[in-house]
Structure 1
Amino acid sequence: MSWKSMRRGALRTLAASAATLALATALANPADAKSDRVRWSVPIAFGTNLTALGDTLPWVANSLTQMSDGKIKFEIFEPGKLVSGIEIFDAVSSGKVDAGYSWMGYEQGKVPASVLFGAVPFGMEPWEFMAWMYNGGGDALLKEVYAPHNVVPVFCGIISPETAGWFRFEIKSLDQIKGLKMRAAGLGGKVLQKVGASVTVLPGGELFQALEKGVLDATEFSLPSVDQQLGFYKVAKFNYFPGWHQPYTAQYLYVKKAAWDDLAPNARAQIETACTAGVTISLAKAEALQGGVIKQFEKEGVKAVKLNDDILHALKKASDEVMAEESGKSAEFKKVLESQKAFSAVYATWKDLGYLPRDWK
């Protein structure tokens, strides 16, 4: 046998040994066989131009690319480019996409408890909700709720209260809401239906035209800063507060279970860490901008109005009825709601003692 033949044989033996060793190592340590490289197409529910609402995931994605040295990359698709903004859950659950980003609640018809993680009328304030999610059992319940649907959700953004809505005329009594054509989503939409409004859910991009043409009499959508970008102030001059229907609005990165299971532990940790930072960034931005925007609305002839106590009490009564009805339909909904209420009951002591009253001067 020639020297070259011997050398080729030795190299083949060495390569086979290396492959055997790699396979044995992977079988002995399954986590090592998982990937720390991510290339996901990620549709989002809100345009990336919408400050604090739609620009959070791009910030998270950019942070992930940097912290992973380019191993984790999300290709973000604007609403409607890959799937509709309100179909993110379906796209991930069915396996059409590996991940998506949305407010949690559009899927309440299939996952009744989902909306409790998105927004609860007369519910927790943003930082209280964050405390429940991270330290009050919320995240464990979240994972439990979505496990049967082939989805792993990651808490990835939250914003301040929305406005109660934009109206073409002044609202002095709840009777004026009866028959009103209004865009509203989630549990808040169910409450408005209960008090007589004709409620529909439309994507943000369709709302200005619907208001302008009279298809809608009123709409709620998001923060004053987001509503400003959508131009509502041009066609509706009464902006109502407080955001009773959504004291917090939480967004999530929905990940297909198989895609999540394929990730190496370090990749999962990086995604979770970036999303936790996204929660902080989105809330800080939301809190920073609203006062200035409301001042700008004044120059456009918009009247910022607080709903009177009679209306708020009536809406609270209707909200309690809706929550009881939904709890009766779904044991899972009831379980999550009871967890939130129990946490808030304990938190209330700190909330009352630790902070100055909002009307203190």
Structure 2
Amino acid sequence: MIRQLAIAGLAFFASLVASAHAGDAKVIHVASTFPLSLKLFSEATGRLSEQVDSLTGGEVQLVFHVPGNLAPASSTVDRVATGELAAAWSTAGQFATHDSAFELLSSIPFGPDTMEFMAWFMEGGGLTLSRELFASHGIHNVPCMVLPPEGAGWFSKEIRNVDDLKGLRIRFFGLGGRVLARLGADVVKMAPSDILAALKNGEIEAAEYSLPSMDLTLGLQSVSKYYYFPGWHQPSTLYELYFSEAAWHSMTEKQQQTIETVCAAVMTDAIGRAEIMQSEALEEIKKRGIKLRRWSPELLLTFEATWGKVADEEMAANPHFKQIYESYVRFRDQYGFWKRFSYLH
């Protein structure tokens, strides 16, 4: 059973890691940053809940809550860090107000595709650096899902050159937002559930969110005329479970290993499912009269050059950012030798 509690006014729990019955089952309430109605998120959290319950014989139960039940979407990871919440389902970039290096652990502009990201993160040093950084804030992170390139945004007008971005009020996430802001856009941070209304009432003029299948479910095609690709800002995006150190260490080693193993299985499943869903979503979006556009080569070069400047400045200002970005660049240089000789493109 997918344990997603969406009842408004849910009383605050005396303890978010509690006894499930008179026995010793452990219930861990997980606050989600993202709408659990979106297909890939609902499937991932449902499988996490079901399989952790099954493989631990009911000893550990993950109960996922929609944004706003336990915490606003924007503060789920913050509240895990303070110990107010036991766990969150989110992405590292949501914790970037504490350290910009966390943004690199979500996604890297003009960076790796899904397989390259996973190679760097799981085997090339990314996970070790990630765990060290999260541990300094009292959080244990478990990678659970990685998704392919996002759409690059929904716009009411065509974007032909940099001047078309100047003053444009746009909802955009992460380091890509820093790039657009540098180019003159008015970048706004906003929870997914607020995007559609903000586009309808003119609070924002454009927005990016996620994959075509998720954007379609949010209804962004109902208010925008143009949908841009490729998603240079997020060629791949990592999603994780975040546990407070107290919640994580309240479990046995076997229970911890079970969560890690189930997350790995969910990640593998999501890679295939996410890829196969997007063509159908794009066909549906085209039927709605939306015009699909690719960024011009000139704009992509501008985005990439501006990203280079943002990265250089951030490395100079933040040693954690520098450490993580240089780890990835070293990996890419090494990986690129293999990729150039072994892949067709």
Given candidates 238, 242, 247, the residue that maps to 1:254 is 242
**1:111 equivalent in alignment to 2:102:** no
Q: 1:199 aligns with which of 170, 187, 193?
A: 187
Go from structure 1 to structure 2 and tell me whether the alpha carbon gap of 1:299 and 1:64 turns closer, same or farther (over 3 Å shift): same
CA contact (8 A) 1:47 1:55 kept: no
Give the corresponding residue for 2:10: none
SS of equivalent to 1:240 = strand
Partner of 1:338: 326
Aligned twin of 2:207: 219
1:323 counterpart = 2:317: no
Q: CA deviation at 1:54?
A: 4.8
Take 2:295 and 2:242, find their aligned partners in 1: how far apart are those partners?
Answer: 35
Deviation, structure 1 residue 37: 4.4
Over 3 Å counting, the alpha-carbon distance change for 1:137 and 1:339 in structure 2 is: same
Equivalent-residue separation in structure 2 for 1:349 and 1:283 (angstroms): 24
- For structure 1, the 5+ residue unaligned runs are 1-34
SS at match of 1:246: coil
1:82 matched to 2:52: no
Contact in 2 for aligned 1:146/1:152 (Cα 8 Å): yes
TM-score by length of 2: 0.91
Aligned sequence identity (%)? 34
Match of 1:4 in 2: none
SS of the residue corresponding to residue 87 of structure 1 reads: helix
Residue identity opposite 2:180 in structure 1: L
| Aligned-partner Cα distance in 2 for 1:126–1:76 | 26
Secondary structure of the residue aligned to 1:275 is helix
Deviation at 1:308, TM superposition (A): 0.4
**Partner residue, 1:31:** none
Q: Distance in 2 between matches of 1:54 and 1:236?
A: 26
**Which residue does the alignment assign to 2:26?**
38
What is the Cα deviation at residue 353 of structure 1?
Answer: 2.1
Maintained 8 Å contact 2:48/2:62:
no
CA distance in 2, matches of 1:55, 1:260: 23
Q: Which residue of 2 aligns with 1:131?
A: 119
Match of 2:287 among 296, 299, 305: 299
Please give the alpha-carbon distance, in whole angstroms, between the structure 1 residues aligned to 2:284 and 2:253. 47
Q: 2:55 aligns with which of 40, 57, 67?
A: 67
**Partner SS for 1:351:** helix
Could you tell me whether the CA contact under 8 Å between 2:172 and 2:189 is conserved in 1?
yes
Whole-angstrom CA distance in 2 between matches of 1:86 and 1:277:
27
Alpha-carbon offset, residue 58 of structure 1:
2.3
CA–CA distance in structure 2, aligned partners of residues 118 and 57 of structure 1: 18
Shift of 1:57: 2.1
Amino acid at match of 1:206: D
> Unpaired segments of 5 or more residues in structure 2?
1-22
Q: Deviations over 1:150-178 (max 9, x none)?
A: 10111111111110100001111111001
TM-score with structure 1 setting the length = 0.87
- Please tell me whether the aligned partners of residues 33 and 89 of structure 2 are also in contact (alpha carbons under 8 angstroms): yes
1:164 matches 2:152: yes
Contact 1:180 1:197 in 2 (8 A): yes
Distance 1:55 1:338 in 2: 34
- Match for residue 22 of structure 1? none
| Amino acid across the alignment from 1:154 | V
Q: Does 1:228 align with 2:212?
A: no
- The count of corresponding residues between Structure 1 and Structure 2 is 323
SS of 1:106's partner is: helix
Given the alignment of the two structures, is residue 279 of structure 1 paired with residue 257 of structure 2, yes or no? no
Q: Distance in 2 between matches of 1:142 and 1:108?
A: 13
| Deviation sequence 1:294-334 (CA, Å, 0-9, x none) | 11111110111100000000000110011111111110110
- 2:106 and 2:76 mapped to 1: Cα distance? 14
Question: What displacement does 1:36 show?
Answer: 8.6
CA distance in 2, matches of 1:202, 1:237: 21
| Counterpart secondary structure, 1:208 | helix
Q: Residue 179 of structure 1: which of 131, 143, 167 is its match?
A: 167
Change (3 A) 1:273 1:239: same
- Partner SS state of residue 353, structure 1: helix
For residues 73 and 306 of structure 1, the distance between their equivalents in structure 2, rounded to whole angstroms, comes to: 44
The answer (yes or no) to whether the contact 1:52–1:283 under 8 Å persists in 2 is no
